[in-house]
Structure 1
Amino acid sequence: MKVVILHGEVSADAGMDEKDVLVQATTVSSALTDLEYTPIILPLSLNFLTSLDAIKEIQPSFVFNIVETLAGQGSLIHMAPSLLDYLNIPYTGAGTEAMFLTSNKVLAKQRLHAAGIPTPSFFIPGRTVGSSFVEGTYIIKSVWEHASTWLDDTSIICARDLHSIHRAVLAQQNKLGMDCFAEIFIEGREFNLSLLAGERGPEVLPPAEIRFDDFPPDKTRVVDYRSKWVEDSFEYHHTPRNFNFSQEDEPLLLQLTDLATQCWHVFDLRGYARVDFRVDSTGRPWVLEVNTNPCLSPDGGFYAAVERSGLTFTQAIERIIQDMNRGS
């Protein structure tokens, strides 16, 4: 049974964050082989007609979709499920609407806010959402790009009024050449909760905390690009993933689990996902992002959570496939 593993085309000069999808494709291919499928890895380019013809020629039973970007643009991520919908070919993971809504961080936050799920208030030029402007520390993020793309120390600003935050967001947009927004920075702990589809709905895998070991007092505790992708950096080596918690953390972990499950249902997710949280000094959790196709590389958080749960990665892939045709 042939299965296409679809990923975004990766240019020769792409950064490590984009090239990682090639590792994911190989990892998924190995699991599919274990499940006695015949995997065929296929890049998706902006030449949609060529890509569509290639998929139709293969005639796969289904597509395992791991497209994260097209032409290096996260804003086109939803095109993969949209094209597969057009071809009427089953595919794994989130549908087109869920992929679009969660990948646009501003739309995702609006949906979370409307559902009563706590997410930090934010600012985009012209309006604020969630509450009135509050003086304080903000983090400027790309609206579309994930994997901590472009996040660094310059992304953290102290805003005294709307004018200063407006100016800072526009400056970052001009610098990066992409739409940005500013979000209230939650000083505190950071958690990632991976979810995997099961017969009775989503299963929340063991929660992981990202620690900021030996960070100097004047260094902002944030998982930035260097933390994820620059292997010889301080940040990369001092932000370990931790699965061991004290009994005192149990109420918090239960709350995180409940919120992650709510996110799954709010966006009508399928297969697998990851929800990222910050927990403030009072112990209140805030949802930062909902990732509908989290990294599947062996060194990624989803893979680690699967192993921690006692499942094999191949078993997780099998469950993702089983959830493929779930009704809305």
Structure 2
Amino acid sequence: MKIALTYNLKKKDETKPADYFSEYDSEETIGSIVSALETKGHSVEAIDVEYPKLFSYFRKNRVDIVFNIAEGKHGKFRESEVPAILDYLNIPYTGSDTFSLALALNKALTKKILKAENVPTPNFQVFSKGTEELDPSLRFPLIVKPNCEGSAKGITKANVVSNYKDLLKKVKETLNSYYQEALVEEFIDGKELTVGILENGKARALPILEIDFSNCNNSGEYFYSWRMKEYQGNRELGLVPTFHCPARLDAPTEVLVKEAALKTHRAVGCLDISRTDIRLDKNNVPYVLEINPLPGLDPKESNFPIMAYADGMKYEDLIEAIVLSASERRGLN
């Protein structure tokens, strides 16, 4: 097949905030996906969506399918930008559609749907002004997050607060730094888990990945903050979590966790691939934090490939499975 790979390239720009390019992909990730697709016999052209003539490129160049990992450029619907262009031109692409991508990026809307579907998710409140009264049903500690960001942007250990004064301070910092609503939710103290969902005719959960932060005590970090994700593996900073895949769970809990991830995948309307982040509380209740329909695919650093490897897949098999799922959906096979 002739495949176009659409992406945003991670750049270095000292004039931008430290987390500005965190959602974007490295040259190593892009090269690995191209190599995997070529290994499976496809011809591939990689296209940075910063290219100013993206629309005209696809009008002039025929491709069988687009392998989309692009995060888009601007605003709370940015992840839907490339799929919207492809939908308009009737070009098939991998992964979720414009609606699901926009929905999943909005944490609060996603959580409302999860609650309607009886999927456990931490109780929450959205702050748009920073002067709102706190919902009296919410219990400290609380965590403050930008409502429409990925890759843990805007989230540090200081975002976990234990009193109203610190809460308002962090909410106002978030509003002023990210120019969007702040999501405030109850902080679930427990195991950090993530679950990959892969479709190939039928959605199935990959082996659950547990991220253990007990080796990160010297860093002061104890959950998947932006700093933890950005510098994961840096021994000088003490950011060396231990990964357990499959996770250290008993069989009934494993079933509950996978069911929560599958229900989240379906409720949001994800296609082909997704990764759901979960916190397991002391009573073994799996609380869904968020879902990512565009999970990282770095073969060495990203969580999704780790789960695929534990399932017995090679990296090129994972990439091909995503293509096959999308191809079957669109009747290309």
Shift of residue 224, structure 1, vs aligned partner: 0.9
CA contact (8 A) 1:187 1:221 kept: no
Q: 2:162 aligns with which of 144, 158, 164?
A: 158
Matches within 5 A, 1:194-233: 194-199=196-201, 201-216=202-217, 219=220, 221-230=222-231, 231-232=233-234
Return the alpha-carbon distance in structure 2 between the equivalents of residues 193 and 184 of structure 1: 21
Counterparts in 2 of 1:268 and 1:177: CA distance versus 1, 3 Å: closer
On the 8 A contact 2:3/2:67 being kept in 1, the answer is yes
Task: Encode CA deviations 1:95-128: one digit per residue, 9 max, x unaligned.
Answer: 1111111111111111111111111111112689
Structure-2-length-normalised TM-score: 0.86
Gaps of 5+ in 1: none
Which one-letter code corresponds to 1:29 in the other structure? Answer: V
2-structure distance, mates of 1:145, 1:138: 18
Preserved CA contact (<8 Å) 2:190 2:280: yes
Find the residue that maps to 1:222 and give its secondary structure: coil
Aligned length: 319
For 2:100, the aligned partner's letter is A
Pick from 25, 35, 41: which aligns with 1:36?
41
> Secondary structure of 1:20's partner?
coil
Q: 1:147 to 1:164 in 2, by over 3 A?
A: closer
Task: Tell me, yes or no, if structure 1 residue 61 matches structure 2 residue 57.
Answer: no
- The answer for the alignment partner of 1:300 in structure 2 is 302
Indicate if the aligned counterparts of 1:94 and 1:269 stay in contact, CA closer than 8 A. yes
State which of 87, 90, 95 in structure 2 corresponds to 1:88: 90
Identity %: 24
Structure 2 distance, partners of 1:253, 1:235, is 32
- Looking at structure 1, the residues matched to 187 and 23 of structure 2 have their Cα atoms a distance apart, in angstroms, of 26
Q: Deviations over 1:51-92 (max 9, x none)?
A: 111222221111000012416x66411111111111110000
From the superposition, tell whether residues 210 and 10 of structure 1 become closer, same or farther in structure 2 (CA, over 3 Å): closer
TM-score under structure 1 length normalisation: 0.88
How far has the Cα of 1:242 moved from its partner?
Answer: 0.9
Structural RMSD (CA): 2.7
What's the CA shift string for 1:220-275, capped at 9, x where partnerless? Answer: 621112211125366663322111555x6221111111111111211222111111
Whether the aligned pair in 1 keeps the contact of 2:8 and 2:50 (CA below 8 Å) is: yes
Are residues 12 and 221 of structure 1, via their aligned partners in 2, closer, same or farther at CA, if it must alter by over 3 Å?
A: closer
**Equivalent residues of 1:121, 1:128 under 8 A apart:** no
> CA separation of 1:140/1:238 partners in 2, compared to 1, >3 Å: closer, same or farther?
same
Q: Which 10-residue stretch deviates more, 73-82 or 183-192?
A: 73-82
Alignment match, 1:120: 122
Gaps of 5+ in 2: none
Residue equivalent to 1:137: 141
1:121–1:218 CA distance, 2 compared to 1 (3 A)? farther
Whether the aligned pair in 2 keeps the contact of 1:68 and 1:74 (CA below 8 Å) is: no
Q: Residues 282 and 147 from structure 1, CA distance in 2 versus in 1: closer, same or farther, beyond 3 angstroms?
A: same
Match of 1:191 in 2: 193
Label 1:202 to 1:234 Cα distance change in 2 as closer, same or farther (>3 A): farther
Query: Could you say if the C-alpha distance between residues 128 and 291 of structure 1 is closer, same or farther in structure 2, counting changes exceeding 3 Å?
Result: farther
2:34 counterpart SS class: helix
* Aligned-partner Cα distance in 2 for 1:236–1:112: 35
Contact 1:125 / 1:169 at 8 angstroms: preserved in 2?
yes
Partners of 1:245 and 1:206 in 2: how far apart? 8
2-structure distance, mates of 1:277, 1:254: 13
| Cα pair distance change 1:254/1:232, threshold 3 Å | same
What residue in structure 2 maps to residue 25 of structure 1?
A: 30
2:262 matched to which residue of 1? 261
SS at match of 1:45: coil
Q: Deviations over 1:129-154 (max 9, x none)?
A: 9x853231111111121111222122
Q: Is the 8 A contact 1:270 1:326 kept in 2?
A: no
- Give the direction of change, closer, same or farther, for the CA distance of 1:290–1:19 in structure 2 (3 Å limit): closer
Which whole-Å CA distance do the structure 2 matches of 1:10 and 1:216 have between them?
A: 29
